[in-house]
Amino acid sequence: MSKIKTKDKLKLVAQQLFAERGIDGVSVREIVHAAEQKNMASLHYYFGTKEQLLKELLKDAAEAIETKRTVLLDAIEAKGGPGSPLEVLRIFIECAVIEDDDPRSLSNVRLFLMAARSDPSLVLGTVEDTRKSAYLRCLEHLRQFMSHMDETVVERRLFLLQQYVFNVLATRERSLSSGDPQQALWKNNDMLHELVKTAHGLLFSEITNK
């Protein structure tokens, strides 16, 4: 870690701590100490406040996910659009898993979840959810495939989809970053494929009144 620039070291350590313990459970002092900085003012020098540091982390995390998602979605749309909801779900879900060689690979999703629990408005205000975002474009494609369903049911299921997918992916990150016995389940892509298929089931399961 000694070869990493001080600013990047602070960001990496902060993201790992936030992902593990939540935003409110981590102090500036703890971040600086974990980053092996002697000067307590180092974080304030680079970021101003803990909130500004969090905003920068969220922007970086969103970019890491959205860049790949945008490229894949653009390619599909250029050919006339997705042929099935499974195609959309694969992009939506699998692009949220960033490459293993990225030091943030086991904390990105958990960072978002922890930040959303602490201050949902900060997350929404930091990560611009415009109609051009690949995230929202995926949801819109899914709405089109669900157009035969009642609009209220569609919105409920899309909400549940997001809760299901990102909590499962957070569990994946937690398992792989610890000695969790379930770690072996995530060693290959089989579980991600199951996540895609079960997400499809969540969206398109038969509607009953029972």
pLDDT single digits (tens) 64-109: 899 999 999 999 999 999 999 999 999 999 999 998 889 999 999 9
Cα–Cα distances in Å, from 11 out to 6, 16, 34, 55, 94? 9, 9, 11, 11, 24
pTM over 0.75: yes
Over residues 108-141, the pLDDT tens digits come to 999 999 999 999 988 888 876 555 789 999 999 9
DSSP 100: T
Q: Are 18 and 26 in contact (CB under 8 A)?
A: yes
Task: Report pLDDT for 1.
Answer: 42
Provide the residue ranges of all domains of the chain, joining segments of one domain with +.
Answer: 58-204
- Of 203, 210, 199, 201, nearest to 94 by C-alpha is 199
Task: Report pLDDT for 181.
Answer: 81
Task: Report pLDDT for 17.
Answer: 97
Residue with tokens 């694969």: 90
Residue with tokens 């089989």: 190
Which string of b and e fits 96-127 if b means at least 16 CB within 10 Å? Answer: bbbeeeeebbbbbbbbbbbbbeeeeebbeebb
Where residue 208 falls among pLDDT bands split at 50, 70, 90? low
Task: Report pLDDT for 125.
Answer: 83
Residue 161: CA count within 13 A, CB half-sphere: 28
Q: Are 18 and 112 in contact (CB under 8 A)?
A: no
Q: Are 177 and 107 in contact (CB under 8 A)?
A: yes
